[in-house]
Amino acid sequence: MGNQHTKVGEAMTVWVDDVYLQGNVPGVRSNARWCHLMADCEAELIDFAIRVGLNPNWIQDKGRPGRTHFDVTKTVRAKCVAFGAVELEWHYMGELMRAIRRIHEAESDPNYGTLTSTWDHCSNCGTETVLVGPYCDAANDTLYLCEPCIILVEDA
């Protein structure tokens, strides 16, 4: 999938999951099923949401990287995909959001370096999933790691 972590003004990726949670929201048809529209940059998420016709005031968890999202119905989800949102299975969305939170936490530490999130095979275990990196090993090789392998590297 390539590099998914972006800065405002760069090409960005937004994701939409397939969780289809049931919920009743005033003013919306009852028993609607909802998915999540997310990005790793809040400003870009809001810009995309406006382009697909969402009210920016509907944002959820504003100011919380890795949690900020819009709830969207199946119809709006389809429109998001038509506008370029990447479809992601609901369980991978959780992994991605944890990776984004880790990146934002790391970026607040000037000694940590710049991390990105990507979708690929883990440099350590080979699992295809959301990865965070780059990390450097003892041989100074660049690694992109899944969440369990990050914990192994940080505990070593």
Q: What is the pLDDT of residues 76-100, one digit of tens each?
A: 999 999 999 988 888 788 777 877 7
CA distance 133 to 116: 6
Does residue 102 lie within any of the structural domains? no
Asked if the peptide bond before residue 110 counts as cis, ω within 30 degrees of 0, the response is no
What's the domain count of the chain? 2
SS3 at position 126: coil
> Tell me, what's the pLDDT at 124?
73
Specify whether 81 is located in the same domain as 117. no
Select the more confidently predicted residue: 133 or 153. Answer: 133
Q: What residue numbers bound the domain in which 118 lies?
A: 108-155
pTM above 0.85, yes or no: no
Asked whether residue 57 falls in the same domain as residue 119, the answer is: no
Residue 107 has pLDDT above 70, yes or no: no
Last residue of a domain, one of 39, 58, 88: 88
> Per-residue pLDDT for 64 more than 70?
yes
Whether residues 74 and 117 share a domain: the answer is: no
The average confidence (pLDDT) of the chain is 75
- Residue 40 has a pLDDT of 74
Which tops the pLDDT comparison, 140 or 2?
140
In a domain, 148, yes or no: yes
